[in-house]
Amino acid sequence: MFRKSILIGLCFIFLFLVLQLSLGKNNCFAQARQARPVPDEEGFYSLFDGKTFNGWKISEEEQGTFTIKDGAIVANGRRSHCFYVGRVQNALFKNFELKVDVMTKPKSNGGVYFHTQYQEVGFPAKGFEVQVNNSGSDRKRTGGLYNVLDIMDDSPAKDDVWFTEHIIVNGKRIIIKVDGKTVVDYTEPDVPVPPRGNLGRVLNMGTFSLQGHDPGSTVYYKNIKVKPLPW
């Protein structure tokens, strides 16, 4: 009788463990499905959840430059860059549409990089920068393809007002829009000639990065989303 009771007890324990394992497995599958990136109706994937730096990596140079406030990534501090390293396309983009809502405080400088890669210090050597600068000391203004096709002196956006930078890369062509207006339409030559000092400004593939330029600049980035395009 005693042995029978032990056997029944062991059977119950075994069934309990099997049930827990099954529930845990199902829960893991549910979490994986929930975490899988899903595009919106227009095919855009969100790259920033508005609350955390999940999917982003700040360069070791100065991690304190970037904070999150009111649903936006805020860049204010010594030079640093915040790179997308998340699950969408495994952070590797070639042809795409990228939209970023940006707001600058007066005299601020920033930028949005594409086709770049993570680096610990310095300005990203690989890829292109789309300028963010409405009233800073640099004459190159918002929306320009920095050191490739610049917008000089007159900015298409204003400080203290949200605006949208829309970057489209398809094949050899780069289109940049600010609040829906095309400000740059550039086609890379068949034999690229990158600008002096920016040898990495050649169309290839890579990730995105947000710039923190200097302690005197405060730039806000939010509603960051991308639509991958066919290669």
pLDDT over 70 percentage in the chain: 85
Q: Measured between alpha carbons, how far is 185 from 106 in angstroms, rounded to an integer?
A: 27
Fold for 45-228, please state it.
Jelly Rolls (2.60.120)
Q: Measured between alpha carbons, how far is 184 from 144 in angstroms, rounded to an integer?
A: 7
- Give the pLDDT confidence of 187-203 residue by residue, as tens digits: 999 999 999 999 999 99
Per-residue pLDDT for 28 more than 60? no
What are residue 224's DSSP bridge partners? Answer: none
What 3 state SS string does the chain have?
CHHHHHHHHHHHHHHHHHHHHHHHHHHHHHHHHHHCCCCCCCCCEECCCCCCCCCEEECCCCHHHEEEECCEEEECCCCEEEEECCCHHHHCECCEEEEEEEEECCCCCEEEEEEECCCCCCCCCECEEEEECCCCCCCECCCCECCCECCECCCCCCCCCCEEEEEEEECCEEEEEECCEEEEEEECCCCCCCCCCCCECCCCCEEEEEEECCCCCCEEEEEEEEEECCC
The structure's pTM equals 0.85
- Give the pLDDT confidence of 32-74 residue by residue, as tens digits: 444 689 999 999 999 999 999 999 999 999 999 999 999 999 9
Per-residue pLDDT for 8 more than 60? no
Question: What local confidence, expressed as pLDDT, does residue 36 receive?
Answer: 85
- Cα distances from 125 to residues 23, 135, 185, in angstroms, run 48, 25, 22
- Cα distances from 214 to residues 102, 124, 139, 224, in angstroms, run 17, 15, 16, 22
- Give the pLDDT confidence of 135-154 residue by residue, as tens digits: 999 999 999 999 999 999 99
Question: What local confidence, expressed as pLDDT, does residue 13 receive?
Answer: 47
Q: Measured between alpha carbons, how far is 24 from 217 in angstroms, rounded to an integer?
A: 48
6: exposed, middle or buried (Cβ count in 10 Å: 0-12, 13-18, 19+): exposed
Per-residue pLDDT for 6 more than 90? no
Per-residue pLDDT for 25 more than 80? no
Higher pLDDT, 154 or 11: 154
**Mean pLDDT in the chain?**
90
Per-residue pLDDT for 129 more than 50? yes
What are residue 177's DSSP bridge partners? Answer: 166, 182
